[in-house]
Amino acid sequence: MTKQARGDLTRQKILQAARSNFSRRGYDATGVADICQQAGVSKGGFYHHFPSKQALFIALLQDWLHALDVQISALTTQNTPATVMLQNLAALAAPLFAEAAGQVPMFLEFWNKAARDTEVWAATIEPYHRYRDVFASIIQQGVESGDFRAVAPQMMATGLVALGIGLLLQAGLDQDGMNWGETTQQITQTFLKGLQQETE
List contacts with DNA (CB under 7 A): 1-4, 6-7, 9-11, 28, 30-34, 40-45, 47-49, 51-54
**Partner that binds at residue 123, options DNA, its own copies, none, CB closer than 5 to 8 Å by kind:** none
Of 28 and 174, CB closest to DNA: 28
**Partner that binds at residue 115, options DNA, its own copies, none, CB closer than 5 to 8 Å by kind:** its own copies
Which positions from 67 to 96 touch its own copies by CB under 8 A, shown as an x/- string? ------------------------------
How many angstroms separate the CA atoms of 172 and 103, rounded?
7
Sign of CA dihedral 36, 42, 47, 52: positive
Of 41 and 171, CB closest to its own copies: 171
Residue 152 in the binding site for its own copies (CB under 8 A): yes
Of 49 and 110, CB closest to its own copies: 110
CA dihedral 54, 57, 62, 63 (to 10 degrees): 150
Nearest-approach distance from CB 45 to its own copies, in angstroms: 26
The angle formed by the CA atoms of residues 165, 187 and 138, to the nearest 5 degrees, is: 70
53: left (phi over 0), alpha (psi -120 to 50) or beta: alpha
What are the helix (H) ranges across 82-152?
82-98, 103-114, 118-144
